[in-house]
Chain A
């Protein structure tokens, strides 16, 4: 029956339309009135009250509806009468739809009649009088969808049309079958389209709702339950809601209503939580090199697709909606999803779960485009404390896990750094560099200096291991090719083709190289690095134009920066909860302010017993250091444990001093966050534990001393830890211009610092520290030879990304090889230099090393060209010589990927070129006002 109406209408429409064309309006009117007269006869026959007043009927209708039961007056209505009405109504609706508006927008005669006679409302009541089944609802919905969508004159402006529609809609709001829901949403969507085009209807929608006693915006409220629905229905509902959202941007009343009287924002935000809870808590990871959720990954996870749809919808709402709605939504997402759901999920018990959550977070950050929503996510990551530890600190510490969690965390940071967001960079790195105490005082003026003569690039490239020197590799690996230019005889200035001697200039032109003069080979591969560096730096520079400061060592001023560093972390309410963080700290960490305060106070009595969670933590850590660590549910102590796990993991290859250094890093890390929050109690606990820890380290160290082999590295290490100004640098840096008293100051500072570190008893806030992020990155880089290829690709990618930032503070720290840092500060160059030495050592002890290098180069080239053919809409930033993405590579024939040191060597060489190219481009780019 229902489908009869709809189908009948649709099928017959074209025919009717044709027939109606040319028929004069008066005839149509007469036909319409006749039909209506017939309908009324039947209607009245079954009207229990025999009353014509529509207002009464409406009242009855509403009462009937609210009582919930199907309405029947005077027994069942015979089928033939019902279908008769049906037929008449069909014809009448055609006539109504086809009618043109009258002069100057007046109603056409049929519409006027419909309005006067209250036709629509009476028809609605008629359908209520019969059994108001889903079929009946469907029929009515379709009827309205048709006339609203196809009428030639505005119908919704007229209450007698609008009101029954609203009654119908509200009667459909309860439980209904999927078909009705689909039709309802489709009609609502259509109504929203009408609203978007013609806002004058809006008032009426509100008023009509008020008539019903509920001061709501019915079509909006009806859509809310469908927000998170999957499939077409959900999509249509979200589209419709978006139309209203953009309406709200211009219409204060709508905005206010939605923000104050509806549950739109909470539903939307908590819906995210609901959808999130149905996501798999552990991902099936395709392989060891997997590190982030790509499109092809999540497309196969329906729950994730659904979540992303809703997230995308939030993004869209925030983009178009009125600020009041926007702010409310953002706040609900923060307080209703991120804090209560995502934060605990990031601190789950097993590695896999935590890894999975991290991958989700990375995907979410990549999916969000609207700055305000992005800001919400970022401020969650950067500032939120979960159980008194910053999410950011936890995430940073996880980079150091040897497990896949480390890789996934790296990928997350790659995403974050790629946002060119000042706040991210400030928290991760810049705030540690602003005070400028990572460098010698005299070096501050060097920060802004630029490297005119590519000295840094030359020094970086000079680290190229001898086994990888461009001259040593045979073609085609040596991407040098000799091309002789014909000299000057040919004067035609058209673009000449190159004369090549070699034959491999095929694929993509990447094999180009040239000889200048006759003998010098240019590493043409390096041209690509230069080109990519140029692209990277210019886009980064352009993006950073919105930043608040240049970060050039003067703005923000170093003094202020120091203040900022101490005030970044507001004092927590409960100090006890933070204490585990200090478990490894050697002694009281005293900030200058605290120190003065403490001296005037009598010493506090020591606590009898450390809190339970500290004891737990200690047990874990001890087990860990002893090498008996078993993965168990102790991962809430992330910061410390991950670092230690990593150290333990690296223990076989790195000498014990490394471990100690690692622990120092942790200390410094911890100290940075808690320097002003110390309680004497924490100190006691820390001392106790630290003693045991150091004891363990000692035994560990003596064990390793016997094994030998690592000692050369040790000395080398030492060498690079204390950078000396070589004669070559002397003419770069004008020492004569240093102020007379500066060296004294430095010496003082140095010795002070030295004792502090050694004794571990007192530390001041001014201990140079470049931040946990840099420290963790560099320590992972230091292990490059043991890292798998994909970890190294990520690591070097992140560092290259950082190096492309134009801020002099960052640039000078990462790329300026002339910079003299404080002895305790590890620079990228030092790490690279120590890597070079490790590599040279490997090369000298392993006979087949050159061969292996060649195979690895072949393997990487093959991998690169195989990946080149693949889809490139990756999330990863443009990668220069980087050869790998997420998919498993074809297995190399001659060399196993397990020979990490070999692959790392090849990658190291390429990374040097990448860095050098970035340094060179900086010297000519960053200081030039950008064009275009």
Chain B
């Protein structure tokens, strides 16, 4: 399902969010929109056309939806509700400003988000791990979202084969309104700073951590190296919005970097410089109309 006009906004904010954060050495994160589909500038009544190759991932009949299928209205609008729920989640993620974590919903489905996490200190320092978040299609009434690392990191809670992080232990029951995707991302970050070896998905890592920390550490270093060496690989998923890295290219990145730093100052300029159409003569702290001091005398 792709409602492009809405996604265009979210990807932009995603990009903005990732701006101005640390740029580690020669490795530069670049979120490339490969062959990003052209967005027609559409007028009032025009919508962007839907690309042929976009495969809808959403399956129509989630349990919740079927329950309400009797109501025809819901059937017609159900996908909109899901789409907007996920968008709302995404805006929440942005608002949280999770340190070192970047996500971006995929082009093809709102239920799949691409992400990358930068570990800045601790055992996994300098690790850059790409991952994918899979959100159940009966969201928010299903299980908790899954987090799968592109390369299985050596970690007690990461499945050494599939790369899946054990998220469920933190969210035994996914409760709408209480649980949000940003919490999952937060959790994904925490596991690298606070190692838990209970009921591990990777028993080897768990045992090593408890019995031989030195060996564990060196294995982690190897794992981090391995992950980082694959950083510039093509994204696993063929999706225009997949996160891909490329080495620093001044022709492309200098300008982008420049824009990031100027962007930071913008909110204030924005308020003063641009003509805003709204009006207010209410003095801050007052609820009286025309209470500002600089009002010209009226009588």
The judgment on whether A and B are partners is: yes
Name A's B-contacting residues (CB within 8 A): 326-327, 330-331, 334-335, 339, 371-372, 374-376, 378-379, 382-383, 419-424, 426-427, 430-431, 434, 450-454, 457-458, 461-462, 464, 469-472, 480, 483, 485-498, 508-510, 512, 514, 516-524, 526-528, 530-532, 534, 539, 542-549, 556, 560-561, 564, 567-568, 731-732, 734, 878, 916, 920, 923-924, 927-929, 931
Least CB distance from B68 to A in Å reads 8
Q: Within the assembled complex, what's the spacing in Å between the Cα atoms of A906 and B298?
A: 47
Once A495-B37, A931-B16 are accepted as A-B contacts, the answer to whether A334 and B298 lie under 8 Å apart by CB is yes
> Which 10 pairs show the lowest CB-CB distances between chains A and B?
A496-B52, A543-B278, A423-B289, A564-B287, A422-B280, A454-B81, A421-B279, A420-B278, A327-B296, A517-B60
Once A420-B278, A517-B58 are accepted as A-B contacts, the answer to whether A527 and B296 lie under 8 Å apart by CB is no
Give B80-109 as 1s and 0s: 1 = Cβ < 8 Å from A's Cβ atoms: 110011011111001100000000000000
Name B's A-contacting residues (CB within 8 A): 1, 3, 5-6, 9, 12-13, 16, 35-38, 40, 44-56, 58-60, 71-81, 84-85, 87-91, 94-95, 140, 176-178, 180, 238, 240, 267, 271, 276-290, 295-299
Q: Within the assembled complex, what's the spacing in Å between the Cα atoms of A518 and B56?
A: 10
Q: Within the assembled complex, what's the spacing in Å between the Cα atoms of A454 and B286?
A: 34
Q: Within the assembled complex, what's the spacing in Å between the Cα atoms of A339 and B44?
A: 42
Least CB distance from A657 to B in Å reads 30
Among A378, A451, A549, A924, the most chain B Cβ lie within 10 Å of the Cβ of A924
Asked if A423 and B281 make an inter-chain contact with CB atoms under 8 angstroms apart, the answer reads yes
Asked if B40 and A495 make an inter-chain contact with CB atoms under 8 angstroms apart, the answer reads yes
- Choose among B75, B95, B284 the residue that contacts A520 (Cβ–Cβ < 8 A): B75
A488 neighbours in B (Cβ, 8 Å):
53, 55
B38 neighbours in A (Cβ, 8 Å):
494-495
Asked if A548 and B60 make an inter-chain contact with CB atoms under 8 angstroms apart, the answer reads no
Least CB distance from B164 to A in Å reads 25
Asked if B290 and A375 make an inter-chain contact with CB atoms under 8 angstroms apart, the answer reads yes
Asked if A516 and B56 make an inter-chain contact with CB atoms under 8 angstroms apart, the answer reads yes
B58 neighbours in A (Cβ, 8 Å):
516-517
Q: Within the assembled complex, what's the spacing in Å between the Cα atoms of A662 and B158?
A: 65
Once A331-B296, A542-B276 are accepted as A-B contacts, the answer to whether A924 and B88 lie under 8 Å apart by CB is yes
Q: Within the assembled complex, what's the spacing in Å between the Cα atoms of A544 and B78?
A: 32
Q: Between A and B, how many residue pairs show CB distances below 8 Å?
A: 264
- Choose among A334, A462, A469, A492 the residue that contacts B53 (Cβ–Cβ < 8 A): A492
Once A493-B240, A516-B56, A527-B47 are accepted as A-B contacts, the answer to whether A371 and B279 lie under 8 Å apart by CB is yes
B280 neighbours in A (Cβ, 8 Å):
421-423, 546-548
Asked if A471 and B72 make an inter-chain contact with CB atoms under 8 angstroms apart, the answer reads yes
Asked if A528 and B45 make an inter-chain contact with CB atoms under 8 angstroms apart, the answer reads yes
- Choose among A426, A493, A924 the residue that contacts B91 (Cβ–Cβ < 8 A): A924
Q: Specify the chain A residue showing the minimal Cβ separation from B295.
A: A375
Besides A495-B40, A508-B45, 10 other CB < 8 A contacts?
A375-B290, A375-B295, A423-B279, A453-B85, A495-B37, A527-B3, A528-B47, A531-B5, A532-B44, A924-B6
Least CB distance from A465 to B in Å reads 10
B50 neighbours in A (Cβ, 8 Å):
483, 485, 496, 498, 514
A434 neighbours in B (Cβ, 8 Å):
287
Least CB distance from A474 to B in Å reads 14
Once A327-B297, A453-B81, A528-B45 are accepted as A-B contacts, the answer to whether A431 and B290 lie under 8 Å apart by CB is no
Q: Specify the chain B residue showing the minimal Cβ separation from A930.
A: B270
Q: Within the assembled complex, what's the spacing in Å between the Cα atoms of A383 and B44?
A: 38
Asked if B287 and A426 make an inter-chain contact with CB atoms under 8 angstroms apart, the answer reads yes
Interface pairs (17), CB distance under 8 Å: A419-B279, A427-B289, A454-B85, A458-B81, A471-B75, A493-B35, A494-B37, A495-B38, A498-B49, A516-B58, A516-B60, A534-B6, A546-B278, A548-B286, A567-B288, A916-B77, A928-B13
Q: Within the assembled complex, what's the spacing in Å between the Cα atoms of A470 and B287?
A: 44
B290 neighbours in A (Cβ, 8 Å):
375, 378-379, 382-383, 423
A469 neighbours in B (Cβ, 8 Å):
72-73
Asked if A452 and B85 make an inter-chain contact with CB atoms under 8 angstroms apart, the answer reads yes
Least CB distance from B243 to A in Å reads 17
Among A470, A546, A732, the most chain B Cβ lie within 10 Å of the Cβ of A546
Asked if A422 and B278 make an inter-chain contact with CB atoms under 8 angstroms apart, the answer reads yes
Asked if A732 and B1 make an inter-chain contact with CB atoms under 8 angstroms apart, the answer reads no
Q: Within the assembled complex, what's the spacing in Å between the Cα atoms of A326 and B289?
A: 21
B48 neighbours in A (Cβ, 8 Å):
495
Q: Within the assembled complex, what's the spacing in Å between the Cα atoms of A510 and B60?
A: 24
B279 neighbours in A (Cβ, 8 Å):
371, 374-375, 419-423, 546
Among B51, B88, B287, the most chain A Cβ lie within 10 Å of the Cβ of B287
A426 neighbours in B (Cβ, 8 Å):
282, 287, 289
Asked if B276 and A520 make an inter-chain contact with CB atoms under 8 angstroms apart, the answer reads no
B35 neighbours in A (Cβ, 8 Å):
493
B53 neighbours in A (Cβ, 8 Å):
486, 488-493, 496
Asked if A509 and B77 make an inter-chain contact with CB atoms under 8 angstroms apart, the answer reads no
Asked if A731 and B287 make an inter-chain contact with CB atoms under 8 angstroms apart, the answer reads no
Q: Within the assembled complex, what's the spacing in Å between the Cα atoms of A637 and B210?
A: 86
Least CB distance from B7 to A in Å reads 11
B278 neighbours in A (Cβ, 8 Å):
420-422, 542-547
Least CB distance from A743 to B in Å reads 21
Q: Within the assembled complex, what's the spacing in Å between the Cα atoms of A426 and B296?
A: 20
Least CB distance from A485 to B in Å reads 6
B6 neighbours in A (Cβ, 8 Å):
530, 534, 924
- Choose among A326, A523, A546 the residue that contacts B77 (Cβ–Cβ < 8 A): A523
B49 neighbours in A (Cβ, 8 Å):
495-498, 512
B77 neighbours in A (Cβ, 8 Å):
457-458, 461, 522-523, 526, 916
Asked if A924 and B84 make an inter-chain contact with CB atoms under 8 angstroms apart, the answer reads yes
Asked if B73 and A539 make an inter-chain contact with CB atoms under 8 angstroms apart, the answer reads no
Q: Within the assembled complex, what's the spacing in Å between the Cα atoms of A382 and B289?
A: 8
Once A471-B76, A927-B95 are accepted as A-B contacts, the answer to whether A372 and B296 lie under 8 Å apart by CB is yes
A495 neighbours in B (Cβ, 8 Å):
37-38, 40, 48-49, 51
Q: Within the assembled complex, what's the spacing in Å between the Cα atoms of A106 and B102?
A: 72
- Choose among B36, B76, B288 the residue that contacts A564 (Cβ–Cβ < 8 A): B288
Q: Within the assembled complex, what's the spacing in Å between the Cα atoms of A923 and B90?
A: 11
Once A419-B279, A461-B73, A526-B80 are accepted as A-B contacts, the answer to whether A509 and B45 lie under 8 Å apart by CB is yes
Least CB distance from A856 to B in Å reads 19
- Choose among B13, B45, B46, B180 the residue that contacts A931 (Cβ–Cβ < 8 A): B13
Least CB distance from B109 to A in Å reads 10
Least CB distance from A323 to B in Å reads 8
A929 neighbours in B (Cβ, 8 Å):
267
A372 neighbours in B (Cβ, 8 Å):
296
Asked if A431 and B84 make an inter-chain contact with CB atoms under 8 angstroms apart, the answer reads no
Once A326-B296, A923-B88, A931-B13 are accepted as A-B contacts, the answer to whether A568 and B288 lie under 8 Å apart by CB is yes
Q: Specify the chain A residue showing the minimal Cβ separation from B38.
A: A495
Least CB distance from B32 to A in Å reads 13
Asked if B45 and A510 make an inter-chain contact with CB atoms under 8 angstroms apart, the answer reads yes
B36 neighbours in A (Cβ, 8 Å):
493
Q: Within the assembled complex, what's the spacing in Å between the Cα atoms of A492 and B35?
A: 9
A497 neighbours in B (Cβ, 8 Å):
49, 52
Asked if B79 and A534 make an inter-chain contact with CB atoms under 8 angstroms apart, the answer reads no
Asked if A509 and B46 make an inter-chain contact with CB atoms under 8 angstroms apart, the answer reads yes
A931 neighbours in B (Cβ, 8 Å):
9, 12-13, 16
A560 neighbours in B (Cβ, 8 Å):
287
Q: Specify the chain B residue showing the minimal Cβ separation from A427.
A: B289
Asked if B88 and A450 make an inter-chain contact with CB atoms under 8 angstroms apart, the answer reads yes
A486 neighbours in B (Cβ, 8 Å):
52-53
B297 neighbours in A (Cβ, 8 Å):
327, 331
Q: Within the assembled complex, what's the spacing in Å between the Cα atoms of A492 and B54?
A: 10
Among B47, B55, B87, B279, the most chain A Cβ lie within 10 Å of the Cβ of B279
Least CB distance from B177 to A in Å reads 6
Least CB distance from B266 to A in Å reads 9
A471 neighbours in B (Cβ, 8 Å):
72, 75-76
Asked if B298 and A509 make an inter-chain contact with CB atoms under 8 angstroms apart, the answer reads no
Asked if B5 and A534 make an inter-chain contact with CB atoms under 8 angstroms apart, the answer reads yes
Least CB distance from B240 to A in Å reads 6
Asked if A928 and B79 make an inter-chain contact with CB atoms under 8 angstroms apart, the answer reads no
Among A327, A453, A487, A920, the most chain B Cβ lie within 10 Å of the Cβ of A453
